[in-house]
Structure 1
């Protein structure tokens, strides 16, 4: 009888060890893909997505695959793009004409994160491409930014939360991310107000 109890005890310990190793293995972490580009785009615009961990931290330097299909299911773009340090992958829509498209976006996973795939419907309109502000929110709360573009008298694009920086000689849009002189990433939340995101 003692052998049976010992055998059961060894089996239970083995199951617990395997279960603990499975739970502690970082390859069990989900990854997620968020579409950053909102609304219809123009021919020549950039379509952006963000690859993130479950805690919403960026997954940098990883390949994200984009397969863009037209309304007849023909593949018009099949490209892999590496994410930047903010986890953003940018797909230039140079060879995409006006129309409705389905975009399959895939991260194939790595040793730390599982694969993830999303499908997004994209409308491309005729006309020139406008700068499209993006929003990256590393917190768990949701926020929005005003992304209505207009043209100011100085010929620079602006929106309600944008401002022109003479120091960097460019316009910053609400939701845009930039690296500060302190080496940290800062998110422009409008009217020259910034929030540190890392």
Structure 2
């Protein structure tokens, strides 16, 4: 008899069975971590949007996933709460409607899936009072007006009065920036 062949065949069967048990015995594939970021400025205007982006640790977008966004006022009262689906770019937006000026916080939660671990983000932001922006164009500057290089002025509505709150200049990035003092600038709109 071919006892040698039978022994080799039994050894092969035992090895295959052992590998199968090892492969399916609760050995799970680890999930990748996820990150949620807020793309919007920390100061928004009424009716602006909070724009977020969901990515992996390599900054690759995570598309088609549900993200819960809740906004709370300074007293901790819920203002709005939505579940949004991320687009192909991993981004989603929550429109802030009927929100008055003040301080708010946003809580963003992604529960994760079979491939990604969940993540959370809690961030504070401010909704500015109604803004009135006046920007002087070059056509409005006359020979009697001295120009210090300012593109205009920034006004805000406070206590039902329009108040001058700083100089506004057009930056090299094409956005308007407000001078807040001490060589500090804040992006407007």
Same fold (TM over 0.5): yes
Q: Is the partner of 2:92 in helix, strand or coil? A: strand
Change (3 A) 1:52 1:46: same
1:76 aligns with 2:79: yes
Tell me by how many angstroms 1:74 deviates: 0.7
Contact 1:45/1:129, CA 8 A, preserved across alignment: no
Structure 1 spans left out of the alignment, 5+ residues:
1-11, 131-149, 163-172, 174-198
Alignment of 1:134-153 (within 5 A): 153=137
Partner of 1:53: 56
Partner of 1:112: 115
Partner of 1:160: 172
Structure 2 spans left out of the alignment, 5+ residues:
1-17, 139-169, 176-189
1:41 aligns with 2:47: no
Contact 1:98/1:124, CA 8 A, preserved across alignment: yes
Deviations 1:73-97 (A, max 9, x none): 1100111111121111111111221
Q: Scaled by the length of structure 1, what TM-score is found? A: 0.55
1:123 aligns with 2:126: yes
Deviations 1:38-74 (A, max 9, x none): 2311111111111001211001121111111111111
**Residues in 1 aligned to 2:132 and 2:85: alpha-carbon distance in whole angstroms:** 23
**Residues in 1 aligned to 2:136 and 2:173: alpha-carbon distance in whole angstroms:** 13
Residue-pair matches, total = 130
Higher Cα radius of gyration: 2
**Residues in 2 aligned to 1:15 and 1:65: alpha-carbon distance in whole angstroms:** 39
Tell me by how many angstroms 1:101 deviates: 0.9
Q: Scaled by the length of structure 2, what TM-score is found? A: 0.57
Change (3 A) 1:54 1:44: same
**Residues in 1 aligned to 2:99 and 2:25: alpha-carbon distance in whole angstroms:** 48
Change (3 A) 1:62 1:123: same
Q: 1:63 aligns with which of 60, 63, 66?
A: 66
**Residues in 2 aligned to 1:95 and 1:65: alpha-carbon distance in whole angstroms:** 20
Partner of 2:105: 102
Change (3 A) 1:94 1:119: same
